[in-house]
Every structure is written in structure tokens, then in C-alpha cells.
Amino acid sequence: MKLGDLSVGYLISLRLALEDSGQDPWPLFQRYRITPDMLAEPQARISIPRFMRLGNAAIRLTGNPALGLRMGQLSQPSHLGLAGMAAQCAPTLRQALETLTRFERLSSQNYRGHSTFAAPAHRFYSISPYNAFNFFVVDSALSSRAHLAWQLTGAQARLREVHVEFAPPPYADDYEALFGCPVHFEQAENQLIWDSASLELPLVQSAATTHAHLIQLCEQQLAEQMRHRRLREKVEELISARLHRTLPTLEQVAAQLGTAPWTLRRRLLQEDQIRFQDIIDQTRRDLAVSYIRDTELALGEIAFLLGFSSPAAFQRAFRRWTGQPPGQFRRSELRADP
């Protein structure tokens, strides 16, 4: 179990942003085990925690806390793989955004949630609470989605407003200068709200037959990806998305999978030799280790995200899982970090 991973295509705009800042990206990339060969591999992925640490290191290197916004300005449809190319050929901006959302899993797998598009709002899911490790993730995601829409429509698309979940950062003025519309912080969701007429704009590289062909290829890839996912993985994803609200029950997860609770229990034992309650415990353990190791979240925030009644209950569970209190574990991992 993990927070998720991304296609290495997401690193291209980070490399360009570093070069744009006058920095050689490769010494930093090599510290995080990113090589030119890896960037050329069709199915190569990078974990979300490593991406967050790499972005945080890039911000420290450049001294630019708004580096994520610059990354978005340098993004291209091709950085999003097959789904990006399919979106580029769509008839309208609405269909392009629907394509990017529908096939997001081909390039980005976040076990806590995914983007959605419900016209006119294009929403981006990010792990919260926020800290220095994930501000730039939201910045780059919103900026790249806006920039791609402007690219695809020949700069004709217009945003009505932008919503950001976290409080205004020190570089808050950069947002309205970039997006060209009101930007509201401390909102319920990260989202771009488009002018409705802009969604019907034709794309400058629209090609209906190519779009249809690429959609077929995306569907094939997504079906293949889902076919190889074990039942346990599907259950883990549903559990992890609900932990911050309440511990999900067997009945709730079975309903989401469209099966009976007793059928789900039997299949887990047959296919994966595991009980539902064991999956909950292991999911919480693995997410806890990832949050402690890969973020700067406070222990109280982690306890909330994992559905514990109190920080003390979380600390007891973490010591049982790892043999160490979470603070000691974090310090030892920091000493081992690149």
C-alpha cells in the first residue's frame, strides 16, 4: 500500500522549470534516483512522496516558492502521455477536459482520490493538510491544467475563478497574475472554474478521427491496468479514501464494489488469503509510515487522516507496527534521506 505514483512525464516540466531558473536539473535528479534513461521509459513511475520531496528540494535550490506555478506554464499535452495527446485532438475544450479526467489513472494513481470534471469546474484532488511538500503539487496541477486549456484553444479559453484549499502563501499575488481571474484561498476544493462558453470552443489541433482512435487506445490501456489489479488493491483504494472521515465497514466497501459483504469476505480469503479487518490495519500502517517518512505533517494531522480517535491512540498503534515511536522513526528516516 502506498500514497500513489505518477508517470515520469510529470518530471519534464520540473526539469524545464529548473533550467528556466538557471539551474542544471541533473545533479538534483540524480540525488533522487532520476536518470535520463528512466525519463525515456514508457511505463516508468515515481512515487508521490518522492515527487513531493523532489519538488521541495527544487524550490530550495531555486529559492522560488512559486516554482510549481512556473512548472504549469511549461507543461505540454505530451507530458500527460496518451491521454494528453487524445485531449489535444478532441473537438472541444469540454471533451478535452473530460478525456484528461477519464483517463487520469493512466498517468497518475493517487490512492486518496482523483480529479473530477463537472462543467464548468475542473477539480484537482491533493493530499491534505498542506505543508511545504505539497503546495507545489497543487500549484503545478492547477497551473498546468489552465495552461493546457489555453494552448488547446489558442489562448481563447477564459477562467471565471480559481479556488485553492490552502491559505494564501507569501507569493499569493502571483496567482491572479497567472490565471487572469479572481483566486480564492481556503476553499473547500482545488478547482478551476471555466467560463461556460469557453468549454464549447473548438481546439486548434482538433482531429475527430485521431481523437477517436486515441480514445480507443486509452480505453485498452485502462482496461489492461484495471484487469491486473487484485481485489485487495481495489479494497485498499476504497478504504484509504475514507479513512479521514470514519473507518469504513465491510458492508460499505462491498456496496461500492457492487457485491455482497459475504462474497467480498470469501473472495479476499480465497484470492489474497487476508481478512477485511487486516487490510484496514495494514493500510493504516503503510499510510502512517509514508506520512511520517515522506511529509512534515504533525502527528495530530496524521492521526486525523488515518481515522484515529486521538494522537495518543495513533502513537500507540505506530509503536506496535514499527517498534518505534513516530518521532524517533521520522528522525531516523530523515538521516537516511538523500
Range of the domain at 26: 4-224
pTM (2 decimals)? 0.79
Whether residues 210 and 254 fall in one domain: no
Q: Are residues 179 and 235 in the same domain?
A: no
What span, in angstroms and rounded, lies between the C-alpha atoms of 270 and 183? 51
Tell me the three state secondary structure of residue 25.
helix
Torsions phi, psi of 58, nearest 5?
A: -65, -35
Considering the domain architecture, whether residues 204 and 313 belong to the same structural domain is answered as: no
Cell of 79: 507530458
Q: Are residues 118 and 24 in the same domain?
A: yes
Listed in sequence order, the residues at least 6 apart from 276 whose beta carbon sits closer than 8 Å to its beta carbon are: 235, 250, 253, 264, 265, 268
CA distance 55 to 14: 8
* Of the residues 192, 224, 256, the one at which a domain ends: 224
Is pLDDT at 138 greater than 50 in this prediction?
Answer: yes
Tell me the C-alpha distance between 102 and 222, whole Å: 10
Each residue's pLDDT tens digit, 216-248: 999 999 888 777 667 888 888 788 777 776 788
Lowest mean pLDDT among 49-53, 276-280, 319-323: 49-53
Last residue of a domain, one of 181, 208, 224: 224
Which range, 15-29, 97-111, 278-292, has the best average confidence (pLDDT)? 15-29
User: In angstroms, rounded to a whole number, what is the distance separating the alpha carbons of residues 198 and 304?
Assistant: 39
Q: What contacts 110, CB < 8 A, 6 or more positions away? A: 3, 4, 48, 125, 127
For residues 52 and 133, state if they share a domain. Answer: yes
Computed over every residue of the chain, the mean pLDDT equals: 89
Looking at residue 127, what is its pLDDT?
A: 67
Assess whether pLDDT exceeds 90 at residue 93: yes
The band of 306, judged by pLDDT with boundaries at 50, 70 and 90, is confident
Average pLDDT over residues 77-106: 95
- Segment among 182-186, 203-207, 244-248, 316-320 with least mean pLDDT: 244-248
Q: Report the pLDDT value the prediction gives residue 130, as an integer from 0 to 100.
A: 73
Whether residues 291 and 188 share a domain: the answer is no
CATH of the domain at 296: 1.10.10.60
The reply to whether 203 and 88 lie within a common domain is yes
In the three-class reduction of DSSP (H, G, I as helix; E, B as strand; rest coil), residue 188 is classed as coil
Residue with cell string 470552443: 201
Domain identity same for 241 and 218: no
Report d(CA 280, CA 247) in Å as an integer. Answer: 8
Query: Does 143 lie in the same domain as 248?
Result: no
Residues 188 and 310 placed together within one structural domain of the fold: no
The structural domain count of the chain equals 2
Q: Do 133 and 20 share a domain, yes or no?
A: yes
Give the pLDDT of residue 1: 44
Residues 173 and 75 grouped into a single domain: yes
Share of the chain above pLDDT 90, in %: 59
Q: Residue 302: its pLDDT value, please?
A: 86
- pLDDT of the residue at 8: 93
Listed residues 224, 241, 264: the one ending a domain: 224
- Give the lowest-confidence range in 11-15, 81-85, 148-152, 328-332: 328-332
